[in-house]
């Protein structure tokens, strides 16, 4: 599933435009919407969704957690890519035919199309009055200036949970997923099963720095491309532990181990990340 860096990369591409991949969607008016898979539309019902979107202008595009947030002239549209979603903009008549997995297509002014392709059909689209109706329960953004080591320490101390599942909880911190959690924990030298309320101040700060460093490195490389869903990123070439079971730790040379935590494959160095 795309995480914060991958979703942010998509947001920037759609917002800024790309000569090869299509124009910016900002400033475009939604003329009509083709919905081939009504379950893509989480709210409101698909037919009402189509009617309400018609004629609305895309004023700006941002991200909250793993959601793309389209600020429209009247409403707010949010898209969650889930496991296999992908958004692309194509230019009008010169565009190739939409593939069979392009289940929701936004027809924009100027002839452009914003296509939401989703092989596994888990992605969701919301049209609401305010973004908070969908993302109001998310935790803080880890790269925002207001997210401090002190705040993280207070949050960790108030929980009694293993670090890995807690960091994956979107109500705790928004945007982290399996890859960046494993990378951050390795940078902080913390075991994924370490209990959150046992961390010392220096360890809290190391985790705070690890989270931000992992995410910023991911952003610098346009995210990670590790399967057939999300392509274009290069962060997979810089993984420290994720998907490197049996390979040497970049710190000490000890083989990286893989365990299952909360039904998620988890990678760590047994020497650098000792369980206390």
User: Quick one: pLDDT at residue 276?
Assistant: 78
- Give the end of a domain, one of 110, 135, 160: 135
Residues 6+ apart with CB under 8 A from 229: 2, 83, 84, 85, 86, 119
- The pLDDT of residue 155 is 98
83: buried, middle or exposed (CB in 10 Å: 19+, 13-18, 0-12)?
A: middle
Domain-embedded: residue 166: yes
162: left (phi over 0), alpha (psi -120 to 50) or beta: beta
In a domain, 203, yes or no: yes
Which residues span the domain enclosing 229?
149-268
Are 67 and 117 contained in the same domain?
A: yes
Angle formed by the axes of helices 149-157 and 201-220, nearest 10° = 120
Residue 275 resides in a domain? no
Count of domains forming the chain = 2
Contact 129, 74 (CB under 8 A): no
Kindly state the tokens that stand for 235. 């962060």
- Given the residues 13, 28, 66, 244, select the one marked as catalytic: 66
CATH of the domain at 48: 3.20.190.10
When computed from its CA atoms, the radius of gyration of the chain, rounded to whole angstroms, is 20
**Contact criterion met (CB below 8 Å) for 12 and 21:** no
Residues 107 and 47 in one domain: yes
Q: Give the separation between CA 39 and CA 57, rounded to whole angstroms.
A: 24
Q: Do 130 and 159 belong together in one domain?
A: no
In a domain, 143, yes or no: no
Residue 75 and residue 172 in one domain: no
Q: How far is 177 from 11, CA to CA, in rounded Å?
A: 18
Q: State yes or no: is 205 an active-site residue.
A: no
| pLDDT value at residue 227 | 64
- The tens place of each residue's pLDDT in the chain, 276 residues long, gives 789 999 999 999 999 987 666 789 999 999 999 999 999 999 999 999 999 999 999 999 999 999 999 999 999 999 999 988 889 998 866 667 777 888 999 999 999 999 999 888 899 999 999 999 999 999 999 999 999 999 999 999 999 999 999 999 999 999 999 999 999 999 999 999 999 999 999 999 999 999 999 999 999 999 998 665 566 788 999 999 999 999 999 999 999 999 999 899 999 999 999 987
Domain boundary among 87, 102, 135: 135
Q: What is the pLDDT of residue 229?
A: 59
Model pTM score: 0.94
**CATH assignment at residue 212:** 1.10.8.50
Q: Please confirm, yes or no, whether 66 is among the known catalytic residues.
A: yes
Within a domain: residue 9? yes
N residues, the chain: 276
pLDDT value at position 179?
96
63 and 93 housed in the same domain: yes
Q: What is the DSSP letter of 196?
A: G
Closest CA to 241 of 207, 209, 269, 273: 269
* Domain boundary pick from 70, 101, 135: 135
Instruction: Judge if 69 and 153 occupy the same domain.
Output: no
Tokens of 38: 């009504």
96 and 168 inside one domain: no
Catalytic residue among 31, 36, 212, 264: 264
Whether 3 sits among the annotated catalytic residues: the reply is yes
Q: Where are the strands (E) in the chain, listed by range?
A: 30-35, 41-43, 58-64, 67-72, 76-80, 85-90, 102-108, 113-118, 124-128, 257-261, 264-268
Whether the CB-CB separation of 182 and 44 falls below 8 Å is answered with no
Is 129 among the domain residues? yes
Tell me the C-alpha distance between 106 and 56, whole Å.
11
CA distance 179 to 132: 27
CA distances from residue 160 to 124, 163, 196, 202, 248 in whole angstroms, order as listed: 32, 9, 6, 18, 31
């Amino acid at each position: 599933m795309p995480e914060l860096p991958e979703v942010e990369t998509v947001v920037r591409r759609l917002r800024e435009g790309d000569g090869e991949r299509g124009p910016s969607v900002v400033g475009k008016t939604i003329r009509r919407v083709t919905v081939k898979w009504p379950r893509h539309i989480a709210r409101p019902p698909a037919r009402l969704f189509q009617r309400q979107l018609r004629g609305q202008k895309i004023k700006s595009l941002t991200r909250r957690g793993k959601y793309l947030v389209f600020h429209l002239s009247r409403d707010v549209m949010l898209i969650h890519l889930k496991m296999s979603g992908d958004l692309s903009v194509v230019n009008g008549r010169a565009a190739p035919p939409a593939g069979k997995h392009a289940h929701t297509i936004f027809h924009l002014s100027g002839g452009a199309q914003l296509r939401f392709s989703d092989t596994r059909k888990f992605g969701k689209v919301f049209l609401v009055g305010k973004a908070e109706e969908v993302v109001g329960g998310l935790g803080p953004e880890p790269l925002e200036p207001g997210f401090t080591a002190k705040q993280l320490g207070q949050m960790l101390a108030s929980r009694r949970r293993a670090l890995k599942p807690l960091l994956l909880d979107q109500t705790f911190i928004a945007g982290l997923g399996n890859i960046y959690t494993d990378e951050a924990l390795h940078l902080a030298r913390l075991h994924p099963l370490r209990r959150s309320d046992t961390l010392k101040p220096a360890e809290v700060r190391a985790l705070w720095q690890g989270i931000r460093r992992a995410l910023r490195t991911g952003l610098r490389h346009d995210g990670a491309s590790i399967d057939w869903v999300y392509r274009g990123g290069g962060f997979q070439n810089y993984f420290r532990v994720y998907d490197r079971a049996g390979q040497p730790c970049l710190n000490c040379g000890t083989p990286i181990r893989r365990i299952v935590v909360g039904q998620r494959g988890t990678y760590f160095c047994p020497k650098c990340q000792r369980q206390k």
